[in-house]
């Protein structure tokens, strides 16, 4: 008789390929690993990778992740594309009031833009 387990690993050619688990466990794991983007300080892995691996600012990483152009975000913020491009430069310090406008334009929280 097999002892009850919470999951089962299915292999192919000696390599793990799939995991079978109770649905309740799956739902619990999804809740733990799904980023809560709006209204929180959490940053999705994709945004973090753009910022860290490609050495880009969080503003630029978020913009690229959301598929927006500099012109689109600049228009939403009410500034020129050139001024927005300067804000995207790595290491540039942007005033909190301006960061709040950018966060609103991107549909994210201020905490998600603060480095």
Residue 103 confidence (pLDDT) above 60: yes
pLDDT band at 39 (very low <50, low <70, confident <90, very high): very low
Neighbours of 74 (CB within 10 A): 20
Distance CA 114, CA 32 (A): 23
The position carrying tokens 């079978």 is 20
Residue 32 confidence (pLDDT) above 80: no
Predicted TM-score of the model (pTM): 0.65
| Domains with residue ranges and CATH for the chain | 1-34 (no CATH), 45-112 (1.10.260.40)
Distance CA 48, CA 65 (A): 10
Distance CA 49, CA 64 (A): 11
Phi/psi of residue 65, nearest 5 degrees = -60, -40
* Residue 41: both structure tokens together: 């300080």
3-class DSSP state of 34 = coil
Q: What is the torsional sign of CA 100, 52, 83, 107? A: negative
* Residue range 53-93, pLDDT digits in tens: 999 999 999 999 999 999 999 999 999 999 999 999 988 99
Instruction: Give the H or E element holding residue 94.
Output: none
């Amino acid at each position: 008789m097999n002892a009850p387990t919470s999951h089962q690993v299915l292999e192919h050619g000696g390599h793990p390929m799939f995991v079978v688990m109770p649905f309740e466990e799956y739902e619990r794991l999804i809740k733990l690993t799904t980023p809560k983007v709006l209204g929180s300080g959490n940053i999705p892995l994709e945004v973090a990778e753009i910022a860290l691996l490609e050495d880009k600012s969080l503003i630029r990483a978020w913009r690229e992740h959301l598929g927006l152009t500099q012109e689109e975000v600049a228009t939403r913020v009410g500034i020129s594309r050139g001024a927005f491009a300067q804000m995207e430069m790595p290491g540039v310090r942007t005033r909190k009031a301006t960061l709040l406008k950018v966060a609103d334009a991107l549909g994210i929280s201020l905490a998600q833009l603060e480095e």
